[in-house]
Homo-oligomer: A and B are copies of this chain.
C-alpha cells in the first residue's frame, strides 16, 4: 500500500497528471525567463504541448502558475539563506548578502515584481506563502543585524522586503544600465544620508 496522500485527498493523483504539472512548471519557467511573466497563457500551454484546459486545471490563474514556478525555484533562495548562515559572516554582511539574493531573485523574470507586490495586498494570493517565507527570512537576518547593532532598529523585515521589491522593480527597466542596477541596492543599504 502506497503512502496515503495526506489528509483526505480524493485520489492519489494520477502519475501523468503529476508529470504534466511538473512539465508545465518547467516550461513556464523557461518562458518567463525569456519573455517575462506576462507571456500569454496560451503560448505557455502550447509550448508545453498541453491544452489550455490542462494548464488551467493545474493552475486556475496566472498567479498560481507564477507561485508554482517560484516555489520550484525558491529552494535556491532558501539554500542561499542556509549558505549565508553557514558562512558565519557578521550579521550585517549576512543581511547584505540576503538582500542582494532577494533582489536577484525578484529580477529573475521580467515583470515579476508586479505579481509579487500584488501578493502583499491580496491575502488570498497563492504567492502569499512564498512571500511570507521570504519576509520571515528577511526578518530573521534583519533581526540578527539589529541585535548586533549593525542595522537600524526601527525597520521591520517586511519593510525591507518591500524596499527590495521596489528596487528590483526600478532596476528592471529596459534600459537600466549597470550604475542604476548598482545604485538601487546601495541606496537600500545606506540611503543617501551621510
A121 CA to B110 CA, complexed, in Å: 14
Query: Taking CB as reference atom, which chain B residue is nearest A168?
Result: B166
Q: Is residue A33 contacting chain B, with contact meaning CB distance below 8 A? A: no
User: A159-184 vs B: 1/0 string, CB under 8 Å?
Assistant: 11011011111110111100110011
The number of chain A residues with a CB under 8 A from chain B is: 47
Expressed in whole angstroms, the minimum distance between the Cβ of A180 and any Cβ of chain B is 6
Interface segment, one of A23-31, A59-67, A144-152: A144-152
Pair B162/A180 contact, Cβ less than 8 Å: yes
A165 CA to B163 CA, complexed, in Å: 11
Pair A167/B173 contact, Cβ less than 8 Å: no
Contact with A183, one of B145, B159, B187 (Cβ below 8 angstroms): B159
A183 CA to B183 CA, complexed, in Å: 18
Pair A156/B169 contact, Cβ less than 8 Å: no
Number of this chain's copies in the assembly equals: 4
Pair A183/B162 contact, Cβ less than 8 Å: yes
Query: Taking CB as reference atom, which chain B residue is nearest A187?
Result: B163
Query: Taking CB as reference atom, which chain B residue is nearest A183?
Result: B159
Pair B187/A188 contact, Cβ less than 8 Å: yes
Pair A194/B151 contact, Cβ less than 8 Å: yes
A186 CA to B166 CA, complexed, in Å: 13
- Among A117, A150, A173, residue most surrounded by chain B Cβ atoms (within 10 Å): A173
A190 CA to B173 CA, complexed, in Å: 24
Query: Taking CB as reference atom, which chain B residue is nearest A152?
Result: B194
Pair A163/B167 contact, Cβ less than 8 Å: yes
A174 CA to B160 CA, complexed, in Å: 18
Considering only residues 44-85 of chain A, those with a C-beta below 8 Å from chain B are none
Pair A169/B171 contact, Cβ less than 8 Å: no
Please list the 3 inter-chain residue pairs (A to B) with the smallest Cβ-Cβ separation, ordered nearest first: A166-B170, A166-B166, A159-B183
